[in-house]
C-alpha cells in the first residue's frame, strides 16, 4: 500500500460512521460506472413506481415480503 493511501485511510477512519458510509457508497458507485446498467436500473425503478402508482400491485413492508418468502420456501 502506498504511503499516500495509508494517510488517506487513516483520515477516513477518523470520520463519523455516517460520513464513512456515505463515502463508501460513493466509492462503490464509482466502481459500478457501467452507464447501460445504470440506465436499466433507472428504467426498472420507474417501471415499478408506475405499476405501484397505477394500483396494479399492492405495497407491502420489507418484513412482510420476507415472511412471505420464508413461507413459500418452507412449502417447497
Q: pLDDT tens for residues 30-65?
A: 886 788 888 999 999 999 999 999 999 999 999 999
- Say what the pLDDT of residue 29 is: 82
The structural domain count of the chain equals: 2
Contact of 10 with 21, CB cutoff 8 Å: no
Structure-model confidence comparison of residues 38 and 9, the more confident one = 9
* N-term to C-term CA, the chain: 49
Identify whether residues 23 and 46 lie together within a single domain: no
Residue 41 lies in domain: 34-76
Q: Output the pTM of the full model.
A: 0.47
Mean pLDDT across the chain: 92
Identify whether residues 38 and 73 lie together within a single domain: yes
Identify whether residues 40 and 75 lie together within a single domain: yes
Identify whether residues 38 and 71 lie together within a single domain: yes
Separation between Cα atoms, residue 36 and residue 40, nearest integer Å: 6
pLDDT of 13 over the 90 cut: yes
Amino acid at each position: 500500500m502506498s504511503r499516500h493511501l495509508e494517510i488517506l485511510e487513516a483520515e477516513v477512519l477518523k470520520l463519523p460512521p455516517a460520513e464513512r458510509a456515505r463515502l463508501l457508497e460513493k466509492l462503490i458507485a464509482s466502481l459500478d460506472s457501467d452507464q447501460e446498467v445504470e440506465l436499466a436500473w433507472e428504467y426498472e425503478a420507474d417501471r415499478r413506481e408506475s405499476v405501484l402508482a397505477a394500483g396494479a400491485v399492492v405495497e407491502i413492508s420489507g418484513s412482510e415480503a420476507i415472511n412471505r418468502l420464508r413461507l413459500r420456501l418452507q412449502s417447497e
